[in-house]
Amino acid sequence: MLSKDAPIDNFMSQTLITISPDLSIDDAKERMAENGIRHIPVLENNRLIGILSARDLLVFDSIPTNQNTVWPVSAAMTTRPITCPSDTPLA
């Protein structure tokens, strides 16, 4: 049974896969698929500036004007993601 007092780092991925904001959306999709992940942090100069989710990609791909063009991750990512320290209790 999960303890509400367990720190979230007990549930976090230990190996972090990240991308840059100028990576193409197609390359980001490929990286996410290869690693079986639905969310990927976006870093610039080793600083978190956004997160790209599978949902972000679905919304972005549903806009007809976005098709047939190479777009950078920065065009689809969620900016200013909410973060917390790794020792924050689960609940």
Using only C-alpha atoms, what is the Rg of the chain?
15
pTM as predicted: 0.85
Q: pLDDT by residue (tens digit) across 50-63?
A: 999 999 999 998 98
The beta-strand segments (E) located in 1-91 are 39-44, 47-53, 78-79
pLDDT(1) > 70: no
69, two tokens: 């063009």
Q: pLDDT by residue (tens digit) across 10-44?
A: 888 888 999 999 999 999 999 999 999 999 999 99
What is the per-residue pLDDT for 40? 97
